[in-house]
A and B are shown apart, each in its own frame.
Chain A
Amino acid sequence: DAGVIQSPRHEVTEMGQEVTLRCKPISGHNSLFWYRQTMMRGLELLIYFNNNVPIDDSGMPEDRFSAKMPNASFSTLKIQPSEPRDSAVYFCASSLRTRSGLAGEQTSTDTQYFGPGTRLTVL
């Protein structure tokens, strides 16, 4: 089965340019997450969607960042305009969110599976 697919794998751009990162989640998964990994801040969640609806975007650094999920099989993360401090690896992850068995208990099927990441360099 295909895992999470991200494109491009590498992106080099100049400051001020628009950057669009793309993600195709695992078929059948209903939750999608965008993470960013940097040396200084480690792995941090930017935004996530349930059933294509944005649920929590509190991790989005500023208005220059936006994310969309027009359908269950595609999501984009856009940075406009890009800045050198946006240089990082951006991961997309997906999971199958199910109702808990016991009240409040989380099930292993909520495991998040990550894509290969997009390494973004803004010059």
Chain B
Amino acid sequence: AQKITQTQPGMFVQEKEAVTLDCTYDTSDPSYGLFWYKQPSSGEMIFLIYQGSYDQQNATEGRYSLNFQKARKSANLVISASQLGDSAMYFCAMRERGFQKLVFGTGTRLLVSP
């Protein structure tokens, strides 16, 4: 069964607007961590934000915030005030308790237009 599902292969947004990238996950473990990474065209993987399953509040890092809905098993990434440099692939990933490896979704390609 797919552990991480990103249903949007591509998203378009205009500069300065907000965009939400969807991520749903599947686990029976009550303890897990959720991560978002950005991969620009240059290829590197850049860590953006982390949400722990026990965290009481949604994670925020600058323009990035995570809309964490535990009951729905969703961890959507919200990028506010999009910039041209936000154009990239975005990957959602999960790590379950007892496992160190990250399981990645298939990614969403975001294109920010002027």
Contacts and interface: CB of A to CB of B under 8 A. Distances in A.
A48 B50 CA distance: 21
A45 B4 CA distance: 15
Contacts, number: 69
A117 interface: yes
Given A42-B104, A104-B98, A105-B31, 17 more contacts: A33-B100, A33-B101, A33-B102, A42-B106, A42-B107, A43-B91, A44-B104, A59-B101, A97-B100, A104-B31, A105-B53, A106-B97, A110-B100, A112-B102, A114-B45, A117-B44, A117-B45
Contacts of A119: 43
Interface in A106-122: 106-108, 110-117, 119
Contacts of A116: 42-44
Specify the main secondary structure of chain A where it touches its partner.
strand
Interface stretch (B20-28, B32-40, B70-78): B32-40
Nearest to B105: A42
A55 B101 CA distance: 11
Interface in B14-67: 30-33, 35, 37, 42-47, 50, 52-54
Contacts of A105: 31, 52-54, 97
Contact of A111 (B44, B47, B98, B105): B47
Interface of B: 30-33, 35, 37, 42-47, 50, 52-54, 91, 95, 97-98, 100-102, 104-107
Contacts of B46: 114
A123 B46 CA distance: 29
Given A91-B45, A119-B43, A110 B95 contact: yes
Given A42-B106, A102-B54, A108-B52, A48 B43 contact: no
A114 B44 contact: yes
A50 B100 CA distance: 10
Interface of A: 31, 33, 42-45, 48, 50, 55-56, 59, 89, 91, 93, 95, 97, 102, 104-108, 110-117, 119
A50 B99 CA distance: 12
A107 B53 CA distance: 10
B100 A48 contact: yes
A42 B95 CA distance: 16
